[in-house]
Amino acid sequence: MGHDPAVSVLSVNGDGPRDAALAAFEALAASRRTSLRVDRDREVPSELIDRLCAVAQWAPNHHKTWPLRFAAFTGEGRYRLGRAIADALAASGVDDTAKLEKFRVKYGRSPVVLVVGSAPGDSPKRTAENRDGAAAGVQNLLLAATAAGLASFWSSGAEPADAVVSEMCHWEQGTTMVAVIYLGWPVAEVPAPERPAPRIVHVGA
Ligand SMILES: Cc1cc2nc3c(=O)[nH]c(=O)nc-3n(C[C@H](O)[C@H](O)[C@H](O)COP(=O)(O)O)c2cc1C
């Protein structure tokens, strides 16, 4: 169902300047797309990547455990990542050669591949909360990338290879893979998948 941010904002709050800020944020959130339509040869400055990671750190975090871990793969590093994942998958029993070959090259599709992990907590509950907070950080990062004009694509890792990737990134043991994010400058737009209306229950006094 379509949703017009500008209309709903005005009906919620008529106080002027804050409406404009909310409308701008709604438009930003709605314009973020999962897209790999990027210029694979146009560099993304590492300072910009650092800045996006810093925005992720502003996500909520229970017990201030700061679980987010980042590793930015560029240049030949993207192919080292792909080979390491393909080798780990093969070692885990995957024998689909076409799939393994795809992993060896697929991270070259964007100039930056940002791998995001979440450090373990000292209990299963805290490990789960760390991951929730880390996912909130990823969304901060994606929205900041959108604001900077970058296209982004949140992809899942390849679970049997998580330990190998974590070691490659020099992360502590038990760090879980939250996202493998392709980042690059867009060369085309992609259509927005429709969203259903939010399912909300309002409970009064
Ligand atoms: C945890 C997570 C993992 C995802 N992994 C993949 C993936 O492996 N491949 C993929 O095509 N999209 C992946 N996506 C992106 C979704 O497919 C995408 O968000 C959805 O199609 C809606 O499109 P939009 O983000 O442009 O609104 C993932 C999203 C999340 C939150």
Instruction: Enumerate domains of the chain plus CATH numbers.
Output: 35-184 (3.40.109.10)
pLDDT (tens digit, 0 to 9) for every residue of the chain, 205 residues total?
A: 344 544 554 555 566 678 999 999 999 999 999 999 999 999 999 999 999 999 999 999 999 999 999 999 999 999 999 999 999 999 999 999 999 999 999 999 999 999 999 999 999 999 999 999 999 999 999 999 999 999 999 999 899 999 999 999 999 999 999 999 999 999 999 999 999 999 999 999 8
Number of neighbours of residue 194 by Cβ within 10 angstroms: 8
What angle separates helix 46-56 from helix 124-147, to the nearest 10 degrees? 130
- Per-residue pLDDT, 3: 46
Tokens 């259509």: give the residue.
191
Q: Is the CB of 154 under 6 A from ligand 1?
A: yes
Q: Which of 3, 28, 33, 34 has most ligand 1 atoms within 8 Å of its beta carbon, as the pocket-test mutant?
A: 34
Closest residue to atom 29 of ligand 1, CA basis: 154
Q: Which atom of ligand 1 is nearest to the CA of 138?
A: 31
Backbone angles phi, psi at 180, to 5 degrees: -115, 110
Contact 85, 134 (CB under 8 A): no
Q: Which atom of ligand 1 is nearest to the CA of 33?
A: 26
Q: How many A from CA of 18 to the centre of ligand 1? A: 31
Q: Is the CB of 191 under 6 A from ligand 1?
A: no
- 142: number of CA atoms within 13 Å, CB side? 23
Q: How many A from CA of 40 to the centre of ligand 1? A: 20
Q: How many A from CA of 13 to the centre of ligand 1? A: 32
Report helix, strand and coil shares of the chain as percent, to nearest 5: 50, 15, 35
Handedness of CA 133, 175, 78, 45 (dihedral sign): positive
Number of neighbours of residue 176 by Cβ within 10 angstroms: 20
- Per-residue pLDDT, 154: 98
- Rounded to whole angstroms, the Cα distance separating 106 from 180 reads 12
- Rounded to whole angstroms, the Cα distance separating 92 from 81 reads 17
Q: Is the CB of 146 under 6 A from ligand 1?
A: no
Q: Is the CB of 155 under 6 A from ligand 1?
A: yes
